[in-house]
Amino acid sequence: MSGVAEKLKTIVGEGNILTEQDEVITYSKDYTYDSLPLVSPHPCEGCIVAKVKSVEEIAEIMKYANQEKISVVPRGAGTGVVAAAISQKPGIIIALEKMNKIIEVDDDNLMITCECGVPLHEIITRMNEHPTLYFPMHPGDEGAHVGGMVSTNAGGVNAVKYGVMRDQVKGMEVVLPTGEIIQLGGNMGKLMKNNAGYDLMNLIIGSEGTLGIVTKATMKLYPKPKASGTLIISFANRREALSAVPKILEKGIIPVALEYVEKHQIRKTAQDLGKTWPAKQGNADLIVILAEDSVDNLHNKSIEIEDICSEFEMLDAIITDSPSKQRDILEIRSHIYPSIEKEVADLLDTTVPRSKIVDFIDEIDRLSEYYQTEIPVLSHAGDGNVHVFPLKQEGILPEYHEEMITKIYQKTIELGGTITGEHGIGSLRVNKLSMQFSGKELELMRNIKSVFDPNDILNPGKKIV
């Protein structure tokens, strides 16, 4: 690879190249490397990191790599949870962290344009200073970059009201695997309607760095809500709690987040944090976060939700608009995964139609009994996304692991669901794609990949093989 390093130096400068394995490793792993080591593939050796500063540098690297058929992995913040940014072929890792400018906040069009390496927390900080507008996307790790969020079509808890990244992105600049630079979505995407041609932008969104390198993106902003409140509603059992979810939405109440948690799990998590979960009754809780344009609306919607839930044998409802109490509730909810992280072997993010969540979690309970193991779950119930956490057994991957997750995916698909709602396929789920798609569908996807990337050099082995 010494010839490659020399060439890269001429493009990005000597100071922007890393070749030593102990430095390269930082850029060739994602979240799974340290946190899910039993299922995560090991990053290969022999990669060179190029820290790029401009779209032109990326284009030049891609032209060279395509000509020489060298594999390239685009890398954001490495917070991905499906090993999509883990390099498995010696080649070039393009680190995008230096392309970190917020280019424009456009108040008139309610849009923000960022370079790909802007971390989410920078957007949050910038928009906190804005008097009226904000960016609502919040996948769990605020270190995630704009390019990574676009390329994984990230979701998060606020998706019920605002949707996922695909619903935010209105334009982008992309470097193709063959090195050409293209603009998608019109003039950096200030258009709210655009029906011209095939929708290439939506192919790039969620393509996990396999079709192009996103260098800039323009995304929607929203008016800041004026009043926010959180409800914890307790039910005797899961079926009652989850049956209330579609009824809340059917009434036209669209919360920012609508989460389902199992009482024993959230109570234990609160204890781990030295706190107390305020809702004492029942076995199943819904956490509903509302963001409204007036205090009156917040009040009225809270009452309406309570009324709906009382038709489903609600046992108790706690309603608060106190910022500190709301922060406390969210902190405990957000700590469920960290509190079990050390025991978790794998992290599934299956999604089923909302009305099927209860059948899906019942199946998880059956599998838990069959394999004699606890299988913690929590659900973004407002959008059908269920996080399932298969555990280790005495620190190792149990021999039934693969069989068990295959059964979980079979049930997901039987219920009309998908094997991933937000995390993506990466390399961890690529061998499960054929469970969800027909041969023809997979063939179309492979053909799309080869039109964009005829030499299969951009993030090979991820998303589709």
Q: Residues interacting with ligand FAD, by CB under 6 A? A: 30-31, 73-81, 84-85, 96, 116, 139-141, 144-145, 147-149, 151-152, 154-156, 208-209, 213-214, 422-423, 459, 462
CB 234 within 8 A of CB 314: yes
Nearer to ligand FAD, 354 or 462 (CB): 462
H helical segments located in 36-145: 55-68, 120-128
With residue 114 as reference, give the H or E element that holds it. strand 111-115
Contact 53, 16 (CB under 8 A): yes
Minimum gap (Å) between residue 107 Cβ and ligand FAD: 26
CB nearer to ligand FAD: pick between 204 and 309: 204
**Residue number with CB closer to ligand FAD (263 or 423):** 423
At closest approach, how far in Å is the CB of 426 from ligand FAD? 6
CA-nearest of 188, 166, 219 to 383 is 166
Minimum CB distance to ligand FAD smaller for 16 or for 393 = 16
CB of residue 36 to ligand FAD, shortest distance in Å: 10
When the beta carbons of 43 and 155 are compared against ligand FAD, the nearer one is 155
Query: Cβ closer to ligand FAD: 83 or 253?
Result: 83
**Minimum distance from residue 440 beta carbon to ligand FAD (Å):** 25
Look up tokens 């962290």; give the residue: 97
CB of 417 to ligand FAD, least distance (A): 16
Is the Cβ of residue 75 or residue 354 nearer to ligand FAD in the bound state? 75
| Pairwise CA distance, residues 148 & 437, whole Å | 25
- Give me the least distance between CB of 391 and ligand FAD, in Å please: 18
Kindly report the length of the chain: 465
Phi, psi of 258 (to 5 degrees): -140, 95
- Residue nearer to ligand FAD on the CB measure, 376 or 398: 376
CB of 39 to ligand FAD, least distance (A): 15
Cα–Cα distance measured from residue 449 to residue 396, given in angstroms and rounded to the nearest whole number: 36
Residues 214/147, Cβ–Cβ less than 8 Å: yes
Q: Which two tokens stand for residue 1?
A: 């690879």
Q: Smallest distance, Å, CB 81 to ligand FAD? A: 5
Shortest gap between Cβ of 31 and ligand FAD (angstroms)?
A: 4
> How many DSSP H helices and E strands does the chain contain?
18, 18
Listed in sequence order, the DSSP H helices in 197-294 are 200-204, 238-250, 263-272
* Cα-based torsion angle of the residue sequence 36, 37, 43, 45 in order, rounded to the nearest 10 degrees: 160
In whole angstroms, give the CA distance from residue 292 to residue 284: 26
How many Å is the Cα radius of gyration of the chain? 23
Q: Are 403 and 397 in contact (CB under 8 A)?
A: no
In whole angstroms, what is the distance from residue 122 CA to residue 279 CA?
35
Pick the closer one to ligand FAD by CB: 209 or 384.
209
| DSSP secondary structure code for residue 361 in this structure | H
> What are the residues whose beta carbons fall under 8 Å from the beta carbon of 133, sequence distance 6 or more?
105, 107, 110, 127, 221, 222, 223, 224
How many Å apart are CA 410 and CA 435, to the nearest integer?
7
| Between 247 and 335, CB nearer to ligand FAD | 335
CB of 341 vs ligand FAD, minimal distance in Å: 9
